[in-house]
């Protein structure tokens, strides 16, 4: 038990949170989202909340502002901020609390700013509403925060509209907005999750310095243990609305006590041994240049890559680098302007309409969002069975048998065939998508960020499955991802893309070994590592390099 | 299966009764459609002379109840058939425009814009006044005019569905336009379309009644409710109930179908994918 004499800033005791759901055709059900979680945050400290989706971390974060999102209500426990029970303050008490004592930084800054108002107006709004400072003082403070957060032209930054700044800058502007009214506590809800790794590192550093300099306390919510390890003093691991483990950052990442925490810590450590070269490539992309209609910019510039049978080529890059466009060019959805693709020794028609059924069958695709990659009105049996019927003419019992075989292959077993996608978990949905592409007996599967939308442990299972299937079926993967840990775990060769060009390409061992070109170095060094002090090291390293130049 | 709310139950029973009457009109009607049986405008409701006919008689002494029953048949037949025409053409063209895109979409959409820019009642009056008005012509004119509205809805719904990854997956598999329209898009667009069907049916009832009232709809010797209001409207001045009976019937039919449509709309919008519908 902690010493209760010095009152913590935030003290949540035995918090219970419920939500009522209304399933169609059934009686409303009450679900408990958070089962009695207690936590405290001292002044000026940062507590990281970590867990997979549905663990209740955002719900707990918002409860520190006595707020429940759509139908969610706090049904038990006490929440003290500055020693005051915020559940008993009534509407007036809440107004005093929100935007004054506790502020919030959400995941998607782009969706949280009013596009019709200038940034400055929105950043100082809370300070003015609460009468904390005069308009000129608030603006001066905002400019100071812009400078501290490393935003360009801090004097005039506030005059811009939200669409005139980048995603990373907007996220920092939102942090400035949260810090402007001098709150005691800031709730950061996955503030860097939507950003590219190279942007994430800057935002992370800016947030960390801003927290340190202003002495504010913070709840930092994320699913990425490596990120939270950089900014927090303590970490609480949550699962299914219960606390798994709570300790100092050092203890959680170096000496985890619980099995679940150990699994989270070790999830990124898989290394895949590179396969030896095996002869003629299954797909050769030669000098492909492509652009989208009506945009006179080449999204792909002279891209040439090869994939060998049964191998995995990982295409890495940040958003906008053209990696998904490469997939669209290969599948024929975006016919390239120049260049050609040779698949199985045959030249592929650039246009989807010109391809033979055989070409279509041997080249399959798996999507990032399994949710929208499956027709919600079709059963699993129809989804997996359709390629069997379409390509091989299988019908009736024979088709059902093959569907079950595929379900066994993706380790799902019996009882799933007549379910609808809405009745599957996220990982199961992605597995069904894998089975659907596998049903066509392809030579090459394009995997477009297939694990990005999944929780780390589930993603790990999917990667393992993909590797096993590769061994059994000798299928090649073109694996598009922005996550270098995934690349290490699955790739045989790597193509690094930047602004539509392949800047580095070769076997994994070559690409990931120095000497690096500038961009690959930036990309590799930006991937958060699960150890204390990593962030400072990288930043110091970069400062030294730029000073040397 | 959830319990049917009271309002929808009332709507279902009433709509069912109307359709039953329409289907079995020949057996239900006590007298013939054009059989003059009594005095002109016998009024059973508030006149001093009682009538032996339940709803009285019309402007030339025909049994109003029998004419109401036959009128029900014509009105519902026309509304159902024209809604069916509107939905078949509207949704198939709308889906095709969304799936194929490009100039096909442009041509169809601009054509629909053109038709929607003209008031449909006036357009119908112009077309019907130059044509020989028979039941099939009426059905086609009303159905095609209404199909512009359905086209709009179907296209808007389908455009949202076409960009989903599962439709792209189907295209990559090599599926044809027919599969994409009927197997990928239609099941997902059904809920808003079914709800719209109810509304369109009501509008069709009102539309056909309006046309007949103006004399360009159902032609004698056939009778529908709108035409019956027209035939008997002069009696209103003398306190005769005959014109009110078909008017009330039109309102009751519209309301009861609406009650059902509301319930379907509620039920299907709460189903975000998955079982049912």
Q: What pLDDT digit, counting tens, does each position of B107-140 carry?
A: 999 999 999 998 888 889 898 888 888 889 999 9
Q: Which of A54, A15, A13, A11 is nearest to A185 (CA)?
A: A11
pLDDT of residue B85: 95
Name which of B168, B267, B274 is nearest A376 (Cβ-Cβ). B274
* Average pLDDT of chain B, as a whole number: 85
Q: Shortest CA distance to A307 belongs to which of A482, A513, A520, A507?
A: A507
What residues in A contact B272, CB-CB < 8 Å? 376, 422
Q: Decide the pairing of beta strands A234-239 and A46-50.
A: parallel
> What digits encode the pLDDT tens for the residues B223-242?
888 888 888 888 888 777 78
Q: Are A79 and A8 in contact (CB under 8 A)?
A: no
- Residues of chain B in contact with residue A24, where contact means CB-CB under 8 angstroms, are 2, 267, 270-271, 276
CA distance B177 to chain A (A): 12
The answer, yes or no, to whether residue B86 has pLDDT greater than 90, is yes
Q: How far is CA B175 from CA A266, A373, A389, B97, B172, in A?
A: 43, 15, 12, 17, 7
**Contact partners, residue A191, CB within 8 Å, separation at least 6:** A105, A106, A107, A171, A174, A175, A203, A207
- Look at residue B93 in the predicted model and tell me its pLDDT: 93
**pLDDT confidence tier of residue A226, bands split at 50, 70 and 90:** confident
Query: Which pLDDT band holds residue B197 (cuts at 50, 70, 90)?
Result: confident
- Helix (H) or strand (E) holding B33, with range, is none
Do residues A232 and A222 lie in contact, with contact meaning Cβ atoms separated by under 8 Å? no
Chain-chain contact of B165 with A377 (C-beta, under 8 angstroms): no
In terms of phi and psi (left: phi > 0; alpha: psi -120 to 50; beta: otherwise), the region of A83 is left
**Min CA distance, B182 vs chain A (Å)?**
12
**Looking at residues A388-401, what average pLDDT do you find?**
90
**H-only helix segments in A332-455:** 357-362, 370-373, 380-392, 396-409, 426-439
Structural element, H or E, at residue A152: none
**Contact residues for B236 (Cβ-Cβ < 8 A; gap 6+):** B243, B244
Helix axes B186-213, B244-269, angle to 10 degrees: 170
For residues A244 and B54, the model is more confident at A244
Chain B: residue nearest A22 by CA? Answer: B270
Which region holds residue A457: left if phi is over 0, alpha if psi is between -120 and 50, else beta? alpha
**Contacts (Cβ under 8 Å, ≥6 apart) of B261:** B195, B197, B198, B199, B201, B202
Q: Which domains does chain B have, with CATH numbers?
A: 6-269 (1.10.3720.10)
pLDDT band of B195, cuts 50, 70, 90: confident
* pLDDT confidence of residue B110: 94
Q: How far apart are CA B124 and CA A97, in angstroms?
A: 63
Q: Give strand pairing partners of A494.
A: A314, A506
Torsion of CA B245, B246, B249, B250, to 10 degrees: -140
The CA angle A180-A185-A189, to the nearest 5 degrees, is: 90
Digit-coded pLDDT (tens) for A237-250: 998 888 999 999 98
Cis before B221 (ω within 30):
yes
Contact A373 B272 (CB under 8 A): no
CB B194 within 8 A of CB B264: yes
Instruction: Mutation target for A interface from B169, B171, B191, B275: give the one with most A CBs within 10 A.
Output: B169
Gap from A392 CA to chain B (nearest CA, Å): 12
A1 — pLDDT class (breaks 50, 70, 90): very low
CB contact under 8 A, B274 and A420: yes
List the beta bridge partners of residue A478: A313, A446
Q: Are strands A185-189 and A217-222 parallel, antiparallel or unpaired?
A: parallel
3-state secondary structure of B244: helix
Cβ separation of A369 and B165 shorter than 8 Å? yes
CB B94 within 8 A of CB B181: no
- Under DSSP, the state recorded for A255 is S
> With contacts defined as CB-CB under 8 Å, which chain B residues touch A386?
173
pLDDT of A549 above 60: no
CB < 8 Å to B173, chain A: 360, 386-387, 390, 440
Burial A145-168 (b: 16+ CB within 10 A, else e): bbebbbbeebeebbebebeebebb
* Cβ partners under 8 Å of residue A118, min gap 6: A158, A159, A160, A161
Q: What pLDDT, on the 0 to 100 scale, is given for residue A537?
A: 84
Identify the pLDDT of residue A93.
86
Identify any residues that bridge with B21 across adjacent strands, giving them in sequence order. Answer: none
Q: Are the Cβ atoms of A331 and B274 closer than 8 angstroms?
A: no
CA dist A338 and A290 (Å) reads 7
Nearest to B174 among A26, A360, A378 (CB): A360
Strand (E) positions, chain B? none
Chain A residues whose CB is inside 8 A of the B169 CB are 365, 367, 373, 436
Question: Measured between CA atoms, how close is B252 to chain A, in angstroms?
Answer: 29
**How many CB atoms sit inside 10 A of residue A114's CB?**
12
Q: Which of B73, B60, B56 is nearest to B34 (CA)?
A: B60
B185 to chain A: which residues are within 8 Å by CB? none
- Give the percent of chain A with pLDDT over 90: 26
Which residue(s) pair with B118 in the sheet?
A: none
Distances (CA, A) of B272 to A159, A368, A432, B184: 42, 20, 20, 15
User: β-strands A363-366, A444-448: how paired?
Assistant: parallel
Which residue from B minimizes the CA distance to A421? Answer: B274
The pLDDT of residue B232 is: 84
User: Partners of A285 in the beta sheet?
Assistant: A305, A341
**At a CB cut-off of 8 Å and minimum separation 6, what does B268 contact?**
B190, B191, B192, B194, B195, B277
Residue in A367, A375, A420 closest to B275 by CB: A420
| Closest residue to B271, CB basis, from A24, A386, A390 | A24
Contact yes or no for B273 and A376 at CB 8 A: yes
Domain ranges of chain A: 283-520
Instruction: Chain B: give the shortest CA distance to residue A336, in Å.
Output: 16
Query: From the list B1, B171, B274, which residue is nearest A352 (CB)?
Result: B171
Beta strand ranges found along A205-324 (DSSP E)? 217-222, 234-239, 242-248, 283-290, 300-307, 312-316
Closest CA in chain A for residue B2: A25
C-alpha span between A144 and A142 (Å, rounded): 5
Length of chain B: 277
Point out the residue among B165, B183, B188 whose CB comes nearest to the CB of A367. B165
Residues in Cβ contact with A231 at an 8 Å cutoff, skipping those fewer than 6 apart: A46, A48, A204, A207, A208, A211, A218, A220, A535
Residue among A355, A364, A377 whose CB faces B273 most closely:
A377
How many angstroms separate the CA atoms of A57 and A47, rounded? Answer: 12
* Length, in residues, of chain A: 549
What local confidence, expressed as pLDDT, does residue A69 receive?
Answer: 76
Question: Given B172, B267, B271, which is nearest A331 (Cβ)?
Answer: B172
For residue A347, the 8-state DSSP code is E
Nearest to A375 among B184, B267, B275 (CB): B184
pLDDT over threshold 50, residue B246: yes
Calculate the average pLDDT of chain A: 86
Q: What are phi and psi of A286, to 5 degrees?
A: -120, 115
Taking the C-alpha atoms of residue A360 and residue A332, their distance in angstroms, rounded to an integer, is 10
Cβ atoms of A448 and A366 closer than 8 Å: yes
Cβ <8 Å between A390 and B175: yes
Q: Does A357 touch chain B (CB under 8 A)?
A: yes
> Does A27 contact B at CB distance below 8 Å?
no
Tell me which chain A residues have a C-beta less than 8 angstroms from the C-beta of B268: none
Question: CA distances (Å), B198 to each of A471, B58, B156, in order?
Answer: 55, 31, 18
pLDDT at A213: 84
Q: Which residues pair with A195 in a beta bridge?
A: none
Asked if A377's CB is within 8 angstroms of B188's CB, the reply is: yes
Measured between CB atoms, does A21 come within 8 Å of chain B? no
Q: Which long-range contacts (CB under 8 A, 24 or more apart) does A389-396 make?
A: A390/B173, A390/B174, A390/B175, A391/A357, A391/A361, A391/A440, A391/A441
Inter-chain residue contact A333 with B271, CB threshold 8 Å: no
Stretch (H or E) spanning A162: none
**Chains A, B: CB contacts under 8 A, how many?**
67
Tell me the percentage of chain B whose pLDDT exceeds 90.
Answer: 30
Write down the ipTM of this complex. Answer: 0.77
- The domain covering A283-520 belongs, at the CATH homologous superfamily level, to P-loop containing nucleotide triphosphate hydrolases (3.40.50.300)
Bridge partners, A476 (sequence order): A444
Predicted confidence at residue B274, as pLDDT, reads 39
Summarised one tens digit per residue, pLDDT across range A158-186 is: 999 988 888 888 888 998 999 899 899 99
Would you state the pLDDT for residue A5?
A: 46
pLDDT tens for A278-313 read 778 889 898 889 888 777 788 888 999 999 998 999
- Residues of chain A found within 8 Å of residue B160, distances taken between Cβ atoms: none
What phi and psi values does residue B274 have, to the nearest 5 degrees?
Answer: 95, -155
The Cα A454–Cα A468 span in angstroms is 19
The pLDDT of B17-46, averaged and rounded, is 79
CB-based burial, A465-475: b 16+ in 10 Å, e otherwise: bbeebbeeeeb
A404 to chain B, any CB pair closer than 8 A? The answer is: no
Question: Taking CB atoms and an 8 Å limit, are B173 and A423 in contact across chains?
Answer: no
Nearest to A64, CA basis, from A92, A32, A86, A38: A86
Residues of chain A in contact with residue B277, where contact means CB-CB under 8 angstroms, are: 377
Enumerate residues 6+ apart whose C-beta is below 8 A from A543.
none
CB-CB under 8 Å, A377 with B172: no
Asked if residue B48 has pLDDT above 70, the reply is no
Which residues, at least 6 apart from A257, have a Cβ–Cβ distance to it below 8 Å? A245, A247
pLDDT-derived band at A52, boundaries 50, 70, 90: confident
Q: Is the dihedral of CA B45, B51, B53, B56 positive or negative?
A: negative
At residue A111, the pLDDT reads 83
> What is residue A276's DSSP assignment?
P
Whether the Cβ atoms of residue B173 and residue A386 lie closer than 8 Å to each other: yes
- Least CA distance to B164: which residue of chain A? A372
């Amino acid at each position: 038990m902690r010493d209760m004499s010095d009152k913590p800033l935030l003290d949540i005791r035995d918090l219970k949170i419920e939500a009522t759901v209304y399933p169609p055709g059934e009686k409303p059900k009450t679900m408990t989202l958070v089962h009695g979680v207690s936590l405290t945050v001292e002044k000026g400290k940062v507590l990281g909340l970590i867990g997979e989706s549905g663990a209740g971390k955002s719900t707990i974060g918002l409860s520190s502002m006595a707020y429940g999102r759509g139908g969610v209500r706090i049904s038990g426990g006490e929440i003290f901020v500055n020693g005051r029970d915020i559940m008993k303050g009534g509407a007036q008490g809440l107004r005093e609390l929100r935007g004054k004592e506790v502020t919030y930084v959400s995941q998607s800054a782009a969706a949280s700013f009013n596009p019709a108002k200038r940034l400055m107006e929105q950043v100082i709004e809370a300070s003015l509403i609460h009468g904390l400072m005069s308009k000129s003082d608030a603006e001066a403070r905002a400019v100071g925060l812009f400078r501290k957060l490393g935003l360009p032209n801090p004097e005039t930054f506030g005059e811009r509209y939200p669409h005139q700044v980048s995603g990373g800058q907007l996220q920092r502007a939102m942090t400035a907005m949260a810090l402007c009214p001098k709150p005691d506590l800031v709730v950061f809800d996955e503030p860097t999750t939507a950003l590219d790794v190279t942007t994430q590192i800057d935002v992370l550093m800016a947030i960390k310095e801003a927290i340190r300099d202003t002495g504010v306390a913070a709840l930092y919510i994320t699913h990425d243990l490596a990120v939270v390890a950089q900014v927090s003093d303590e970490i609480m691991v949550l699962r299914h609305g219960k606390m798994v483990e709570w300790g100092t950052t050092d203890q959680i990442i170096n000496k985890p006590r619980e099995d679940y925490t150990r699994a989270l810590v070790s999830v990124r450590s898989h290394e895949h041994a590179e396969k030896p070269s095996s002869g003629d490539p299954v797909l050769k992309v030669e000098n492909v240049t492509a652009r989208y209609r009506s945009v006179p910019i080449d999204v792909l510039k002279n891209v040439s890559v090869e994939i060998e049978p049964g191998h995995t080529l990982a295409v890495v890059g940040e958003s906008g680098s053209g990696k998904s466009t490469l997939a669209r060019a290969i599948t024929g959805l975006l016919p390239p302007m120049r260049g050609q693709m040779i698949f199985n020794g045959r030249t592929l028609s650039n246009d989807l309409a010109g391809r033979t059924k055989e070409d279509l069958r041997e080249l399959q695709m798996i999507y990032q969002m399994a949710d929208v990659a499956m027709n919600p009105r079709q059963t699993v049996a129809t989804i997996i069975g359709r390629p069997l019927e379409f390509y091989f003419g299988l019908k009736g019992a024979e088709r059902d048998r093959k569907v079950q075989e595929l379900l066994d292959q993706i380790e799902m077993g019996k009882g799933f065939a007549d379910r609808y996608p809405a009745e599957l978990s996220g990982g199961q949905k992605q597995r069904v998508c894998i089975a659907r592409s596998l049903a066509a007996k392809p030579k090459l599967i394009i995997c477009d960020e297939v694990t990005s939308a999944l929780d780390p442990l589930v993603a790990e299972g999917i990667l393992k499955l993909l590797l096993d299937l590769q061994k059994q079926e000798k299928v090649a993967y073109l694996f598009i991802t922005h996550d270098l840990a995934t690349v290490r775990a699955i790739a045989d060769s790597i193509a690094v893309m930047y602004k539509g060009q392949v800047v580095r390409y070769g076997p994994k061992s070559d690409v990931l070994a120095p000497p690096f070109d500038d961009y690959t170095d930036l990309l590799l060094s930006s991937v958060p590592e699960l150890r204390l002090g990593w962030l400072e090291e990288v930043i110091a390293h970069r400062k030294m390099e730029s000073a040397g130049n | 299966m959830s319990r049917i709310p009271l309002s929808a139950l009332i709507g279902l029973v009433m709509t069912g009764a109307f359709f039953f009457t329409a289907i079995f009109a020949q057996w239900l009607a006590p007298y013939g459609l054009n059989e003059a049986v009594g005095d002109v405008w016998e009024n059973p409701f508030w006149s001093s002379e009682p009538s032996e006919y339940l709803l009285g008689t019309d402007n030339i002494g025909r049994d109003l109840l029998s004419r109401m029953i036959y009128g029900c048949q014509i009105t519902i037949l026309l509304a159902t058939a024209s809604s069916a025409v509107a939905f078949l053409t509207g949704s198939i063209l709308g889906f095709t425009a969304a799936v194929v895109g490009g100039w096909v979409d442009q041509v169809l959409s601009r054509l629909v814009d053109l038709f929607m820019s003209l008031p449909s009642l006036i357009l119908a009056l112009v077309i019907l006044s130059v044509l020989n008005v028979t039941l099939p012509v009426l059905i086609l004119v009303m159905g095609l005019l209404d199909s512009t509205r359905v086209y709009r809805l179907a296209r808007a719904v389908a455009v949202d569905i076409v960009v989903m990854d599962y439709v792209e997956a189907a295209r990559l598999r090599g599926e044809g336009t027919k599969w994409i329209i009927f197997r990928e898009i239609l099941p997902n667009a059904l809920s808003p379309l079914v709800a719209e069907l109810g509304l369109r049916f009501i509008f069709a009832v009102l539309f056909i009644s309006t046309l007949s009232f103006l004399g360009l709809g159902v032609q004698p010797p056939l009778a529908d409710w709108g035409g019956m209001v027209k035939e008997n409207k002069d009696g209103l001045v003398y306190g005769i109930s005959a014109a009110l009976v078909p008017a009330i019937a039109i309102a009751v039919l519209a309301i009861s179908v609406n009650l059902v449509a509301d319930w379907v709309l509620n039920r299907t919008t709460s189903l975000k994918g998955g079982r049912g519908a």
